[in-house]
Structure 1
């Protein structure tokens, strides 16, 4: 079952209309023209020194960035749930930041809850410069309308924890508390994450060690939940090459304590670039070379006249890993203005655990 809250006509006109996106493509490239020329925007180059809490905040000189949380949860009966909270920022044009309604930043929020028998989601848009959405670093707060990710005075900047996370939509809401006892993890090569061999890249770090408690309500039935969460922070001006059509992305919590971030970027000619990081229980992170792993679809689901690969086999010989993934709910389709599949998964084989899968460009 899919329920959504559609953005208002005014928000749509004030958001996508101001972006010049009168016709919204259903592709990964859609929201921010991810594969378009990035002239005038700040470049992503190797060797960045990350600074916290400053880098938890927005980087308006870059075209696109996001604050992205996914959580694998269970209630007291053992029933599994998933929760997603995402805030995107896009600059519609480069240059000095304008004041008020002239500000060129567009904000988009997505929230979702998933259970084996249901998937509900909501979407919101806001214009920068008027206080409807934004991110502040001291104390940390990210918000769009009433959805909030709040750190408070007690937040430890090097861990981005603890956090309070709230969102609601048609027939669902959640309030979650996230805490971690290990520092943030730089993805790619010290936070420089390549997306192709042609220079596309992003700055990328994660907090994969969140432990979660809280409440999810679906309809009029609240459930106390607990589990694990993963937060991604990423920003860029051109994260895709023009011939890349979308990505298949995994964040995996292994029962052994390791974490695995893995994705492949698909090209129009059928080839794919594969990237990832293996994260030890103490937070040490190692890049996984493209040739050192395989990601193979094993099952697909028909959704809105699309064939979406919702089951996968992942093999990393150097790590002795060979697993098969299974979605909690194969119909976890985000029918938002820029549609994609996003939902909780489990996996078994040489390793077992839980995680999240995102599929764009289908």
Structure 2
């Protein structure tokens, strides 16, 4: 989404950290907040927005090896502002951290990086585009053709991305509402990347091809104070249609849902809160946590009734603020592949 990656809480005040995933519901005093009817300016908006508290460049991919084995890949750079002031060098309040992962049927490899903004260790430039933290990078002459690299203790990947469709804007022209109280983010995606490249795993290199989905999102208070986490889906169907949908879990046991139906040509239709229905079907024991890894997803408006099943139920992101993220397969009224992210189950 994404609406994603609350790891930004690591860089927020102690009160927010103590609130866990609900910490993004804290007040955004001094920071800019999203407003309806946004006007995007590209390529500038592919870059950072330091007057907002949180931001991410978030890519997931579904891939296949020469023997038909399935793989998942994640590359994410997060930016979090400690304060709404502008500074340079070590006085910059911008903090960056990155997550990289590779998922197989039997293993889930994860790595995490941290860096200060302002000193060159991490950052984002819009044109030519480059997002980096240490030696991890996502870069290209423009946003349509890019190279991506990351390494961890037991994995690495080097892949090329080529966009086959347009950017997609979620919500009302990119203004994505996250609660009945009006919290929101600016949110767009590039869900049409073709991918090719190499994974390096403990057993050796693997050539892979597949598709990738990149989410861009920024805000200052994307959750309400009564929301504790989310379940987010990005699904690519074999008929060319795509679906982004999420439900935000509220402390009273209800949900706030939203999503986008994406036609093969990139035409986006915003889903109403009652259009997107996600219901857990089966739980997995993930490190002594009960995590729903099989779901029924319904969008009656578009005749969607599918079951999503995790490629590897143990796709736990064991990072500083942990969450579940991994590839899924889709069966039912539509078939395909996608990604599922679940936060707040720690």
| Fold shared by both chains (TM-score > 0.5) | yes
1:27 aligns with 2:20: yes
SS state at 1:199 partner:
coil
- Asked if the contact 1:98/1:104 (under 8 Å) is kept, the reply is yes
Q: Which residue of 2 aligns with 1:5?
A: none
SS state at 1:343 partner:
strand
Q: Which residue of 2 aligns with 1:91?
A: 81
1:105 to partner: Cα distance: 0.5
- Asked if the contact 1:27/1:360 (under 8 Å) is kept, the reply is no
Q: Which residue of 1 aligns with 2:61?
A: 71
Q: Which residue of 2 aligns with 1:251?
A: 234
Structure 2: stretches of 5+ with no match in the other structure? 1-7
Q: Which residue of 2 aligns with 1:8?
A: none
SS state at 1:28 partner:
helix
Superposition CA RMSD, Å: 1.6
- Asked if the contact 1:26/1:339 (under 8 Å) is kept, the reply is no
In 2, the alpha carbon distance for the partners of 1:144 and 1:116 equals 28
* TM-score normalised over the length of structure 2: 0.95
1:220 to partner: Cα distance: 4.3
- Asked if the contact 2:16/2:24 (under 8 Å) is kept, the reply is no
Structure 1: stretches of 5+ with no match in the other structure? 1-14
In 2, the alpha carbon distance for the partners of 1:121 and 1:27 equals 21
SS state at 1:296 partner:
strand
Q: Deviations over 1:99-118 (max 9, x none)?
A: 11111011010000000000
Of residues 211, 214, 220 in structure 1, which corresponds to 2:194? 211
Of residues 134, 140, 160 in structure 2, which corresponds to 1:151? 140
1:127 aligns with 2:110: no
Q: Deviations over 1:167-187 (max 9, x none)?
A: 000110000100013221111
* TM-score normalised over the length of structure 1: 0.91
SS state at 1:228 partner:
strand
In 1, the alpha carbon distance for the partners of 2:201 and 2:241 equals 31
Q: Which residue of 2 aligns with 1:6?
A: none
Q: Which residue of 2 aligns with 1:39?
A: 29
- Asked if the contact 1:24/1:338 (under 8 Å) is kept, the reply is no
1:26 to partner: Cα distance: 8.4
In 2, the alpha carbon distance for the partners of 1:266 and 1:16 equals 18
SS state at 1:292 partner:
coil
Q: Which residue of 1 aligns with 2:298?
A: 315
Count of residue pairs the alignment pairs up: 338
1:348 aligns with 2:313: no
Of residues 128, 143, 146 in structure 2, which corresponds to 1:163? 146
Q: Which residue of 1 aligns with 2:341?
A: 358
Q: Deviations over 1:197-245 (max 9, x none)?
A: 1110000000000000000011141100000100000000000001100
Q: Which residue of 2 aligns with 1:50?
A: 40
Aligned pairs (5 A) from 1:270-281:
270-281=253-264
1:293 to partner: Cα distance: 2.8
Q: Which residue of 1 aligns with 2:5?
A: none
In 1, the alpha carbon distance for the partners of 2:106 and 2:249 equals 30
1:27 to partner: Cα distance: 3.3
